[in-house]
Structure 1
Amino acid sequence: MNFERRSFLKLVPAISTLPFLSDSVNAGPKARIAMRFIVASDGHYGQPNTEFQKFHSDLISWVNREKMQKGVDFLFINGDLIHDEPTLLYDFKKTISGLSVPFYVSRGNHDKVGLDVWESTWGYPTNHSFAKGEYAFVVGDTSNEKGEYVCPDATWLRTELAKYKEKKGIFVFLHITPAKWTVNGIECKEVIELFENTPNVKAIFNGHDHDQDSTKQYGKKPYFFDAHFGGNWGTSYKGYRVVEIYEDHTWQSYQYNPTAAPVLNAFSGKE
């Protein structure tokens, strides 16, 4: 099935869909924020001929500033932590120790480390999940030690989604998008239909495509892209995505450019 030819694929309208957002992101709905997290990806620590050290120090500064100004419960780094060389993983981990917030990671196609090294480094496998209050977060692996593109394990995903069926919402993280609606996406029909048929899956977050910072939609499920904060190609800016969940269980997400007109491609979600 070619997802690009299906009528249900569309770009979600940008900031106009959220009239309560001001340019400075100071306005907000009446409900108070219950949880706020940031998604960034594709730092490519160690990539030759890039300012990878600066890219990472910038991200740390941005996230720490967000923590002080608005609060951040955690940061999720959605793959391509390093650039191909497995020994870089230790240096990457040491570098991001400057973060003032908890963080979680997923494996990207440039994170060419084995399962044992990954788990010994982070304390959890490449497929993992965690819960925070009324919400769950499920992380699927979309690559392997060779750096090949692979569909996430649908059987494992189905089990994890069922485990959290009583949660108010589930947010899924996959480095590579499971629909062929970008040049670098892959087609994973079973996975994308599993998400569509799981009522409390709220959103899926993808990295990998450095030139994508928008929202795409399959049925009722939004798929968010966060561009990149490192690497040598992609959007003209480096940034990240913000997710805010409110006490009334509504939520919003927007892409953030820390160096210019900041709010991009906002999306509002309902309970």
Structure 2
Amino acid sequence: MQFERRSFLKLLPALPGLTYLSEPETGKSPARISMRFIVASDGHYGQPDTDFKTFHSDLISWVNKEKLQKGVDFLFFNGDLIHDDPTLLYDFKSTLGNLRVPYYVSRGNHDKVGLDVWQSTWGYSTNHSFSKGEYAFVVGDTSNEKGEYVCPDVNWLRTEIAKYSDKKGIFVFLHITPAKWTVHGIECKEVIDLFEKTPNVKAIFNGHDHDQDSTKMYGKKPYFFDGHFGGNWGTAYKGYRIVEIYEDSTWQSYQYNPTAAPVLNTYSGKS
């Protein structure tokens, strides 16, 4: 079931004590938000001839403001944290010291860091998962230390998704989209088929394609893109994607431009 007019309410100012932003059904109380998270990708910390420090300070400021005004449970960085040089990873992590929300990361093709360094830096592997309440979040690796494009490990995904079969919903993060529907996507049919046949996989989040900020459908599953907040190409604005899960088991995602016409490409679903 879809609620197509919720997005305009995101433009309302935050009010003290107001914990919901969804449009109520006629004659019913509005649904309260039970979880709210942000997905941002492709910051490319350290990329030459870009203002990468400003890009990151802007994102941190925007997210911290979101936390104060509407609440944010966590931020997910969906790949290309740094730009090619593995020694940048420490500086990137240090930059996040001003962030006031928990965060998680995935490896992108420009994150040319070995598995041991990745593990020691973040405390988890490039393939990892976590859960929060009734929802699970599965993170698949789509690159390697050389920066090659690779399909995520479908056997690992299958095992990991099975672990969360009792969850109300699973959200998947992959830096590179597993379908060749963008210039920089790759074809990973086994992976897409796994998602399609798993009822509680609710959505897949992709980065990598800086010029994509919309929703693409494969069967019944939405694949979300979030543009970019750094780098030297892509959408005309720097932004990120927001996901709101409601207590009535509905949820929605929309792209957010913090500087103008903020709410874009809203999608609503039921978990």
**Aligned residue identity for 2:67:** K
Within a 5 Å distance, the mapping from 1:96-135 to structure 2 comes to: 96-135=96-135
Does 1:53 find its partner at 2:53? yes
Query: 2:85 corresponds to which residue?
Result: 85
1:164 & 1:73 partners in 2: Cα distance? 20
Equivalent position SS for 1:22: helix
Query: 1:230 corresponds to which residue?
Result: 230
Does 1:28 find its partner at 2:22? yes
**Aligned residue identity for 1:255:** Q
**What is the deviation of 1:198?**
0.3
Query: 2:163 corresponds to which residue?
Result: 163
2:44 & 2:111 partners in 1: Cα distance? 9
Q: Normalising to structure 1: TM-score of the pair?
A: 0.93
Query: 1:12 corresponds to which residue?
Result: none
**Aligned residue identity for 1:223:** Y
Asked if the contact 2:106/2:175 (under 8 Å) is kept, the reply is yes
Unaligned runs of 5+ in 2: 13-20, 24-29
Query: 2:143 corresponds to which residue?
Result: 143
* Identical amino acids, percent of aligned pairs: 81
Query: 2:26 corresponds to which residue?
Result: none
Query: 1:263 corresponds to which residue?
Result: 263
1:134 & 1:224 partners in 2: Cα distance? 21
**What is the deviation of 1:18?**
1.8
**Aligned residue identity for 2:6:** F
Query: 2:76 corresponds to which residue?
Result: 76
Equivalent position SS for 2:8: coil
Query: 1:10 corresponds to which residue?
Result: none
**What is the deviation of 1:17?**
6.4
**What is the deviation of 1:23?**
6.1
**Aligned residue identity for 1:133:** G
Query: 2:5 corresponds to which residue?
Result: 19
* Greater RCO, CA 8 A, separation 6+: 1
2:11 & 2:134 partners in 1: Cα distance? 25
Asked if the contact 2:75/2:101 (under 8 Å) is kept, the reply is yes
**What is the deviation of 1:21?**
2.2
1:20 & 1:211 partners in 2: Cα distance? 25
Unaligned runs of 5+ in 1: 1-15
**Aligned residue identity for 2:206:** N
Equivalent position SS for 2:7: coil
Asked if the contact 1:135/1:168 (under 8 Å) is kept, the reply is yes
**Aligned residue identity for 1:51:** D
Asked if the contact 2:9/2:22 (under 8 Å) is kept, the reply is no
Root-mean-square deviation over aligned CA pairs: 1.1
Q: How many residues are matched?
A: 256
Asked if the contact 1:17/1:266 (under 8 Å) is kept, the reply is no
Inter-CA distance 239–196: structure 2 relative to 1 (3 Å threshold): same
Runs of 4+ in 1 over 4 A off after TM superposition: none
1:131 & 1:97 partners in 2: Cα distance? 23
Q: Normalising to structure 2: TM-score of the pair?
A: 0.93
**What is the deviation of 1:20?**
2.5
